[in-house]
Structure 1
Amino acid sequence: MKRRLLFITGVLSSIFTALLTIFGFVASNKLMYLKLKDTEVILQRETLAKRFDEKWYEIVQKKELWIDSPNDYLLKAIFLKPLQTQNTVIICHGVTENKINSIKYARLFEQLGFNSVIYDHRRHGDSGGKTTSFGFYEKTDLKAIVSFIREKIGKEALLGIHGESMGAATTILYAGTFKEEADFYVVDCPFSDFTEQVLHILRSETPLRSTMTLRIANLFLKLRDGYTLKLISPREVIKNIATPMLFIHSLEDELILPHMTKELYEAKKGDKMLKLFNKGAHAKSFNENPQEYEQTVREFLNRFVFTQ
């Protein structure tokens, strides 16, 4: 009887371990290999919305760049130079998007007197990299881009970074972790803590409501990709940033909740500005409020950047 009980216990334990392993791989796969939007779909969307002007893009002075990532792959960037200036903004797109989505912001900053650099995050667009890490590895990629561009434009030129969604979180993680080389930041709808963000999505879109799911995902992320969700937390590094920062969010955003941007704004020391738009779903503040968005960025620059 005792042997039989031990046998049954061993079988049940093996089944549980196998199920746990399968669940862990599935959960970590969902994060590491999040489905990306098709490039052609993004291009058509931006063209139809008149946020991408093919004629402008064809004639604008530009240079394609391949920048070495410290994570051992190449990052694809395009240096857009419509203006005779060294002042430049690096634009970081959101997860599942690519550099085409950044062109609308390039046109915005052109109106404000800046050239721009658009680039693909790891595993997105034309850049290398096998997984998406939601800012963990992306922040060191951004550091490589910033250092490369700063060397090109010189120390006297103004250098800014604009980030949207994951790109905004990546911007904060970069600025709060490394020696800052930028003169200002614009962060549009960042999450303040990725663990809380994933839990919010789980509870909003799935029947999984327990934090046990996150603990299992963390174990497999650590084993497979070298990090845990806890290491992706803009709130933990925002206090290290002294450079002027503009925070933007829309109150209709149900994916990344506006209170996350409010939290980051309150924790940021030094020069800062907050703009909450009434209209716009996630990462749609510019799309729904283009003129007011430009006015907001212009006000921020006039108040904290151009006066220096």
Structure 2
Amino acid sequence: MRKWIGMALGFIGVVVMIGLLIAGNYLYNESVKRGTEVELYRGDEEAAPAGASLTTDTEDSVVSEAERWFDQQEMSILEQTSFDNLLLRAAFINNENSNGKAVILAHGFRKQKEDMKDLAYFYYQQGFDILLPDTRGHGESEGNYIGYGWHDRLDYLNWIDRLIHDYKSESIFLHGQSMGAALVLMVSGEKLPNEVKGIIADSGYTSVKEELAYQLKHIYGLPSFPLLNITSVITKVRSGYFFGEASAIDQVENNTRPLLIIHGEKDELVPTEMAHTIYETAGGEKMLWTVPNAGHIQSYNTQPQQFEKKLKEFITNVLHKK
């Protein structure tokens, strides 16, 4: 009898393990594998007040103007080979009035460089050269997986060096949205050249592990254990990193650059509490601005004039400290 009970329990254990592996691979495909179109979260429309548009008339005008400007630019396509032999690409927009100022714009999850055109236009107006990378697994860059900023932080160190050596950039800013915000926060913990002057992180998460755990609970009503742990192992095997490694909060503790953290107070994808945690943990000079009624990466849309004012003040203050 005990033998049969043991065999039954063993069989159940195998079935459960197979089920977890299937679920783990599904979550990997949804959240890490390149090319999946299904979103892991609800639309940002739910973060806006009832009856409200995600964009104001002013912001619509800014976006259309930015689109026209972006489409007219002559861009140089830069390439680098990553540490794991991926061909990565970025677009460079030269500004004749840059005087050594440059910004690297980091796009979000399943986005690409073209999605940063509104910010590119803003920075161009402030006299910056613009570098727009497609992160690994996105756009024109190679890669079969999304690094959530972790492996990408090393790629960005190479982009920084490229600006310094090829374009003589003397004052470099990093500005990221969502996953791109977490990316630049992860970069902040590395040993950076003196030419990197400031970092702006809009709607960034503390770590991949905490963000995916939040999504599992928020969308599916599921606990993170054991599914997230299994998916993390699958990600290590297939993509080379554990979720626990990809931590912006651990990296930003070692930050030494002026840091501006921006976050919408109605963000349903990355909870606003994460911005407060990042702010409290971050080393160096730092500032936190949370925007009422703004959803995920909607702060610019919600308060375009105030958003630009904050950026201008931050840039001016940083550059005056050179």
TM-score, normalised to structure 1, is 0.89
Deviation at residue 296 of structure 1 after TM alignment: 0.2
Deviation at residue 279 of structure 1 after TM alignment: 3.1
Q: Provide the C-alpha distance between the structure 2 equivalents of 1:158 and 1:36, rounded to a whole number of angstroms.
A: 37
Letter in 2 for 1:297: L
Q: Provide the C-alpha distance between the structure 1 equivalents of 2:288 and 2:6, rounded to a whole number of angstroms.
A: 62
Letter in 2 for 1:51: V
Contact conserved, 1:36 with 1:97, CA < 8 A, in 2?
no
Letter in 1 for 2:119: Y
Q: Secondary structure in 1 aligned to 2:283?
A: coil
The alignment status of 1:63 with 2:76, answered yes or no, reads yes
Q: Provide the C-alpha distance between the structure 1 equivalents of 2:71 and 2:16, rounded to a whole number of angstroms.
A: 57
Deviation at residue 49 of structure 1 after TM alignment: 6.7
Provide the residue aligned with 2:20 in structure 1.
20
Instruction: Name which of structure 1's ranges 235-244 and 267-276 shifts more when overlaid on structure 2.
Output: 267-276
The alignment status of 1:261 with 2:275, answered yes or no, reads yes
Letter in 1 for 2:111: E
Deviation at residue 48 of structure 1 after TM alignment: 7.2
Instruction: Name which of structure 1's ranges 144-153 and 5-14 shifts more when overlaid on structure 2.
Output: 5-14
Q: Provide the C-alpha distance between the structure 2 equivalents of 1:182 and 1:90, rounded to a whole number of angstroms.
A: 10
Q: Provide the C-alpha distance between the structure 2 equivalents of 1:13 and 1:299, rounded to a whole number of angstroms.
A: 59
Provide the residue aligned with 1:41 in structure 2.
none
Point out which structure has higher relative CO (alpha carbons under 8 A, 6+ apart). Answer: 2
Q: 1:267 to 1:20 in 2, by over 3 A?
A: closer
Letter in 1 for 2:214: H
Q: Deviations over 1:23-68 (max 9, x none)?
A: 222222222226359xxxxxxx999775254542343343121222
**Aligned to 1:104, which of 96, 107, 118?**
118
Q: Secondary structure in 2 aligned to 1:177?
A: coil
Contact conserved, 1:36 with 1:124, CA < 8 A, in 2?
no
Q: Provide the C-alpha distance between the structure 1 equivalents of 2:12 and 2:73, rounded to a whole number of angstroms.
A: 65
Contact conserved, 1:135 with 1:232, CA < 8 A, in 2?
yes
Q: 1:7 to 1:204 in 2, by over 3 A?
A: closer
Q: Which runs of 5+ in 1 are unaligned?
A: 38-44
Deviation at residue 7 of structure 1 after TM alignment: 4.4
Q: Which runs of 5+ in 2 are unaligned?
A: 39-53
Q: Provide the C-alpha distance between the structure 2 equivalents of 1:14 and 1:263, rounded to a whole number of angstroms.
A: 40
Q: Provide the C-alpha distance between the structure 1 equivalents of 2:90 and 2:180, rounded to a whole number of angstroms.
A: 15
Letter in 2 for 1:77: A
Contact conserved, 1:218 with 1:229, CA < 8 A, in 2?
yes
Q: 1:49 to 1:131 in 2, by over 3 A?
A: farther
Q: 1:75 to 1:9 in 2, by over 3 A?
A: same
Contact conserved, 1:83 with 1:110, CA < 8 A, in 2?
no
**Aligned to 1:281, which of 271, 286, 295?**
295
Deviation at residue 252 of structure 1 after TM alignment: 1.3
The alignment status of 1:246 with 2:264, answered yes or no, reads no
Q: 1:113 to 1:14 in 2, by over 3 A?
A: same
Provide the residue aligned with 1:42 in structure 2.
none
Contact conserved, 1:68 with 1:144, CA < 8 A, in 2?
no
Instruction: Name which of structure 1's ranges 253-262 and 209-218 shifts more when overlaid on structure 2.
Output: 209-218
Provide the residue aligned with 1:51 in structure 2.
63
Q: 1:251 to 1:58 in 2, by over 3 A?
A: closer
Q: Secondary structure in 2 aligned to 1:101?
A: helix
Contact conserved, 1:163 with 1:188, CA < 8 A, in 2?
yes
Contact conserved, 2:186 with 2:248, CA < 8 A, in 1?
yes
Q: 1:280 to 1:83 in 2, by over 3 A?
A: farther
Q: 1:90 to 1:13 in 2, by over 3 A?
A: same
**Aligned to 2:184, which of 162, 166, 171?**
171
Identity percentage of aligned residues: 25
Contact conserved, 2:67 with 2:118, CA < 8 A, in 1?
no
Number of residue pairs the alignment of both structures matches: 301
Q: How does 1:190-201 map to 2 (within 5 A)?
A: 190-201=204-215
Provide the residue aligned with 1:153 in structure 2.
167
Q: How does 1:83-232 map to 2 (within 5 A)?
A: 83-85=96-98, 86-154=100-168, 157-180=170-193, 181-232=195-246
Provide the residue aligned with 2:51 in structure 1.
none
Q: Deviations over 1:122-179 (max 9, x none)?
A: 1111110110121121111212211111212226x21111011100101111120343
Contact conserved, 1:183 with 1:305, CA < 8 A, in 2?
yes
Q: Provide the C-alpha distance between the structure 1 equivalents of 2:135 and 2:61, rounded to a whole number of angstroms.
A: 23
Q: 1:60 to 1:10 in 2, by over 3 A?
A: closer
Contact conserved, 1:279 with 1:289, CA < 8 A, in 2?
no
Contact conserved, 2:70 with 2:121, CA < 8 A, in 1?
no
Deviation at residue 214 of structure 1 after TM alignment: 1.7
